[in-house]
Structure 1
Amino acid sequence: MGFQAEHEIWLQEHMKCRTGERLDALRRGHGYGNQLFVERVWWPLVGHFDGLHPEYEVKDWRGRSYFADLVWVVGAVRIVFEIMDYGSHGTDRTKYRLDLNRGLFLQSQDCLLYYIALDELKENPAFILSSLRSILSPYLSVVQGNALRTYTKIERDLMRAAVRHHRVIRPVEVARELELHTMTVIKYCRILVEKGKFRAIATGSSGRVTSYEYLGSLQSPDLV
């Protein structure tokens, strides 16, 4: 399938998994600039949408929800792309300040952050494509070369989530983060326990399992 068909499937999959504010943010936010980026840069560069999230929810330094334009989750790394329109970001000093503060905060959370100028995207996408090809080449080579998978996508997503949360995850919370059903998360956490990657953590006298700890290496190729 070509770009238009794949893009529509990708977008609908994310919409099906979201409700409330997160769904509204996707409907509002994935507009002209973001679509231009995925069509002129992302698709020629990568050729698929695996691991790419539109309007990705993160918490800022105040604990408030913030939706990054596009985030590529590869291994334990989150790579953020923000499409910057001068008219909406450069003329309001307060918004300009908040944008820079968010960018600084995202980098403090071990995210890689790249600002993309909308004007450059419209007039010279080849420059952006060439630059990102060089920047992202280590990640692209790993993803494209890792044809044989020991773990499923959901299992890798859960292990990566555990790495981001200091090795320990709670099924209810990670289900929201990964846009999965809680019972699906529990099912795959139990599978990872059997595979020796997770340890179930029980609390209270009942011994009820409330969280899971990742036991693997932070540099494990299984995370990619």
Structure 2
Amino acid sequence: MNFETAHHAFINKHLELRSSERRGRLERGHGHGEKLFLQKVWWPLYRNFEYLHPEYEIIDWRKRPYFSDFAYLPGSLKFIIEIKGYGPHVRDMDRQKYCNELNREIYIQTLGYRIISFAYDDVSEQPELCQYLLQTLLNRYQAQKQPVQRTVMAESEIIRYILSSPHQSVSPKEISLHFQINHRTSVKMLKSLCHKGWLQPIHSGSGQRIHRYALVAGSVGYFA
């Protein structure tokens, strides 16, 4: 099934489930920016719209309805996704409207939702960046579908540790101390990551001895 067919079925399904203002809001509110997000960001990642709800209604603390662009509700997890354009709504916003906007976001999070906001310009011009950021975030909350070997999990933790270091590099001694493993094991794991293309060795001044290991540019998406 291609995107246009899947998108048409997705919207029609939700229209059939709604009536009155909730139906009207979906007909009026699901516009170009929302469809572009689905086409350029969501569909390339997941190839379905399962657990996704367009123009999702939430009642705020003032008992007023608020319609988010999307809600993603897989199981007990709750995410709100917003596509924000830099238009008159933002440029002409006064202080009270700005306060209300922030207060609403905080209130929505008190209800157990995690808010994910994307700029329309990024969705349009940098969809790959949006894909990476979205997948990185959701992967931290959702269990992987396939069993994960302990070695892979350990390697992922090493990558995350290196990402948090000032120079994004590490020595075998640092790994040994941080993860409480022996030196031989730390060297073995670091060499394994080099073999897989995630790390590269940094040699000492003489060029004979490996001093540290650094991340290879562009390799960290695998561990998100």
Q: TM-score range by the shorter chain?
A: 0.5 to 0.7
Question: Is it true that 1:100 corresponds to 2:117 in the alignment?
Answer: no
Q: Is the 8 A contact 1:89 1:95 kept in 2?
A: no
Aligned pairs, how many? 145
Tell me the amino acid that sits aligned with residue 34 of structure 2: N
What RMSD, in angstroms, separates the aligned Cα atoms of the two structures?
Answer: 1.8
1:78 paired residue number? 78
Work out the percentage of aligned pairs sharing the same amino acid. 37
1:125 paired residue number? 127
Question: Could you list the per-position Cα deviations for residues 136-156 of structure 1 after superposition, in whole angstroms to 9, with x for gaps in the alignment?
Answer: 1145545x569xxxxxxxxxx
Structure having greater relative contact order (Cα 8 Å, sep ≥ 6): 1
| Rg larger for | 2
Matches within 5 A, 1:4-153: 4-91=4-91, 92-93=93-94, 94-139=96-141, 141-142=143-144, 144=145
TM-fit CA distance, 1:108 = 1.2
Question: Could you list the per-position Cα deviations for residues 54-102 of structure 1 after superposition, in whole angstroms to 9, with x for gaps in the alignment?
Answer: 0001110111111111000011121110111111442212443332221
SS in structure 1 of the partner of residue 129 of structure 2: helix
What is the alpha-carbon distance in structure 2 between the residues aligned to residue 139 and residue 17 of structure 1?
28
TM-score normalised to the size of structure 1?
0.61
What is the alpha-carbon distance in structure 1 between the residues aligned to residue 89 and residue 142 of structure 2?
30
**Uncovered stretches (5+) of structure 2, i.e. residues with no partner:** 148-224
1:210 paired residue number? none
Tell me the amino acid that sits aligned with residue 138 of structure 2: L
TM-score normalised to the size of structure 2?
0.61
What is the alpha-carbon distance in structure 2 between the residues aligned to residue 105 and residue 32 of structure 1?
27
Quickly say closer, same or farther: Cα 1:119–1:95, change in 2 above 3 A: farther
Question: Could you list the per-position Cα deviations for residues 106-126 of structure 1 after superposition, in whole angstroms to 9, with x for gaps in the alignment?
Answer: 111110101110111111111
